[in-house]
Structure 1
Amino acid sequence: MPLTAPMAGARLGAGPGTEVDGGFDFAFAFAFGNDAFSDKVLRLEVVGSDDAPGSGTDAASRKRRREEAEDHDGEGIDSCTLVILQVKTMRVCSVILAAKSPFFLKLFSNGMKESCQRHATIRIADSEERAFKELLHFMYSGKLTPAIEPTLLVDILMAADKFEVVSCMEHCCQRLSRLPMTPKSAVRCLDLPCSISMAATLTKTAKKFLAQWYKDFLSTEFQDELMRVPLAGIQAILSSNRPRTASEESIYDFVLRWARSQYPNSEERDKILSSRLLPLVPLSMTDAIRIDHPSNIVNFTINRDLCNNLFPLGTVRSVPFNCEGLAFFISACCKEKEQLQFFNLSINMIEGKGATWGPIDYKIEVMTRRSLEFVTKHRHTTPPNTRQTVGCKVPWSELMADDSTFFIDGKLHVRVHVKISQQA
């Protein structure tokens, strides 16, 4: 007999007074995996991504792959980026699944081409497989594994949302609200779709947890795992944790390393840095220093007002720039030495881990009002494979004097040359 919507939505009794975890008064755990009560064969295509290592673990790629796999019959999925790892089959009761899920009601009735076939095919990511099996068991029994850990619980919640099992979504949200978060489950909660009723609450809780858990985020203990935390988590950590001024250099270095690991495309990375991350780093680290770097020459300007605001111990930094495979940034700050204030300009290498390079020739030039030409203020050559900050300083009183020769139309003009020699 064809399955109809009224039949699918009917209450299937298991006896008076029956109550299970999901809040239902029926349970069909006895039918789970039982051929005698199964009328359909569910064909699972388990897919993985071949475009990036570890793509099944980070939130952004999990979300992308989940969206790519939404179409149960695989239409519109790019076969170049998704690989069918294995195909599994299981016998299911279409009436039970349709009663719990509009997705399966449509699949088994008249909404999809599989409805008139004995076999029905759905596609899931490899990272969703365990959660999907738990979801199926819940649809039969109204129960989840009692001691299930928070990360898997979030994955089940995501699967329940994908397959429209509202009762399981509500149950997962209730259990998550009672359980303590872990770093992994918190990261998962940053990726919750808005269709989940408690998504905003769980995401807010996750951000607070991550900010507290990684309050010492500059510690070497956390560096590897922080490289896997998605953008929303990094924003939460930076927004809630403000280490002392002496750590600013380390914060900036951390932000740039994270951005390089998450966004290989330099254009996308610079956009994320300038609009989402650098404004969260202590002091002004926006585009106040404007960079134009054809070849190995970097030109930038700093407004006089910005320089003035650096007193007594402020810092401003440029967006990163690349030179022959290495990344750098320029910083300007006010420093005190022997009770005197100095304006300090420096060139900083962001990271050289795993890379090799020859000697680097640095030259810093400043345009003066007298000649309107650039005058060399500092030159230095660093040894091969040496990560070293190079800079020069000017007495603060000389820089900011009313008759200062360093400002032209209210701007300090600086030019930096970076030349990397090939190793012999």
Structure 2
Amino acid sequence: MELLNFMYSNTLSTTSATGLLDVLMAADKFEVASCMRYCSRLLRSKDMTPDSALLYLELPSSVLMAEAVQPLTDAAKQYLAGRYKDITKFQEEMITLPLAGIEAILSSDDLQVASEDAVYDFVLKWARAQYLQLEERREILGSRLARFIRFPYMTCRKLKKVLTCSDFDHDVSSKLVLEALFFKAEAPHRQRTLAAEEAATLNRRFVERAYKYRPVKVVEFELPRQQCVVYLDLKREECANLFPSGRVYSQAFYLGGQGFFLSAHCNMDQQSSFHCFGLFLGMQEKGSVCFAVDYEFASRVKPTEEFVSKYKGNYKFTGGKAVGYRNLFAIPWTSFMAEDSLYFINGVLHLRAELTIS
């Protein structure tokens, strides 16, 4: 009756989500696309719940005219991605979600995660909980979920573990890791080009999420002394968001078996009482470990756009300690962030830290 009523009056008397879904399915059966779109629009205007959103995700496989419900399906994906964007906070609840829900969440660029390593760890945890048989798990990970993990932004230490993870078919994991390493080896401008090319597609493996810990590129040397060169890129908007007292941390990197990190700060210059940009190097592990490190901070500078050394020194690290400079560029924050700043090249601040065990 509701469907007939719509065909004569373009209105429906039912307003409940269950009633609208029933009418939508009947309209699909009789190929009344206009009624399906009408029901879809009314359902989108209602408050969603995780259960209703998951139900809407199933519609394209349940109806003949899937395009009529696509806006509703898209809205359900956005709802789930927004509700569960903090993976750490909702991890136990998310473990029970079906595959379609997990795919909707992982496709988001706005996940609140420490790093892509955390996304990988969660996907493995979910797959092991949902698919107890190894072959089933390998199939789901390889054919459905791997494309939502942005392997190029994982740390090299975690990528090594991917290669030996039995949950992935070895050929699949080898291909994923190789692709990630090739991306890491690209110049920054080429990485941005690849990310921009994929931003308009469903495959977003080269698109960076807003990680709590910023990805770094690391080059390691064993001889003549143990050394690593670390590259950290920060976008202009990331730096702007640090004002007036914020800080952003890099992913961990390793030298001599010890974990280190870089942190960029907006500080108050203690002598001149103005805000400025600071850079610090810290040791990750707390404890009794102690060894000396020669370090040097550098930044690419216009007009040559080459790296120019800013500070160097030697510091005896113990666990949990850090060394750095509150005003790396010896200028006020306003000059650092100005449109004619010497330090932003195509909107990106390029920092380099060299560490050598002394």
What range describes the TM-score normalised by the shorter chain of this pair? 0.3 to 0.5
TM-score (norm 1): 0.34
Structure with greater helix percent: 2
Q: Larger C-alpha radius of gyration, 1 or 2?
A: 1
